[in-house]
Chain A
Amino acid sequence: DGGITQSPKYLFRKEGQNVTLSCEQNLNHDAMYWYRQDPGQGLRLIYYSQIVNDFQKGDIAEGYSVSREKKESFPLTVTSAQKNPTAFYLCASTPGLAGFDNEQFFGPGTRLTVL
């Protein structure tokens, strides 16, 4: 079950601490995305990157940061400024930038709990 991997599967953090969620893909995809999934709210886009060394804010970027130094990696940092960080986080990737094949491939997710 390769493709996109996320680690860890479960993560606990104390209030006031930053934490970084890992996302790696071996699909040679250009674009990568971070979503959070909350019950009753669907998936909401946090950040996305269409190419290495470039990324854009999504709909709920406040309190989060990302980097895209390598094509295969797109780590997400949840900072202490994020007011409600407990959620299920999903990483995804897409083959092209704006082409026909816009299917997004998803990782297994990381469940973050703030204690």
Chain B
Amino acid sequence: AQRVTQPEKLLSVFKGAPVELKCNYSYSGSPELFWYVQYSRQRLQLLLRHISRESIKGFTADLNKGETSFHLKKPFAQEEDSAMYYCALKNSGSRLTFGEGTQLTVNP
């Protein structure tokens, strides 16, 4: 069965520090993974997808099939990065399985 795990419910860093939000998955097929973000009082929205190999707002995420991970990283965190982050795995068709979410707080 498909499963996405985000081991940290809460993560707190200082402005300018590196940040890594962990995501591990289990899936028998070829995975397609995404990171979604929900800023305070805003809608949940797509941050990035692994297939595009893009960097959005300074964030990157590399798919590591050997470790079944898709960790989200940013070298220098900013206060505006404070938000809830969800890792998601695409199932058959267009379904997504979401992780439990990590609340990131970037302190000044």
Contact = CB atoms under 8 A, between A and B. Distances in A.
Interface of A: 31, 33, 35, 40-45, 48, 50, 58, 90, 92, 94, 96-98, 100, 102-109
**Chain B interface residue bracket vs A:** 20 to 34
A43 B86 contact: yes
Nearest to B96: A104
Interface in B54-77: none
B43 A103 contact: no
A113 to B, nearest CB: 19
A108 B45 CA distance: 11
Max chain A Cβ within 10 angstroms of own Cβ: one of B6, B34, B36, B43: B43
A90 B93 contact: no
Max chain A Cβ within 10 angstroms of own Cβ: one of B51, B86, B92, B94: B94
Contact of A40 (B9, B51, B92): B9
A41 B49 contact: no
A35 to B, nearest CB: 8
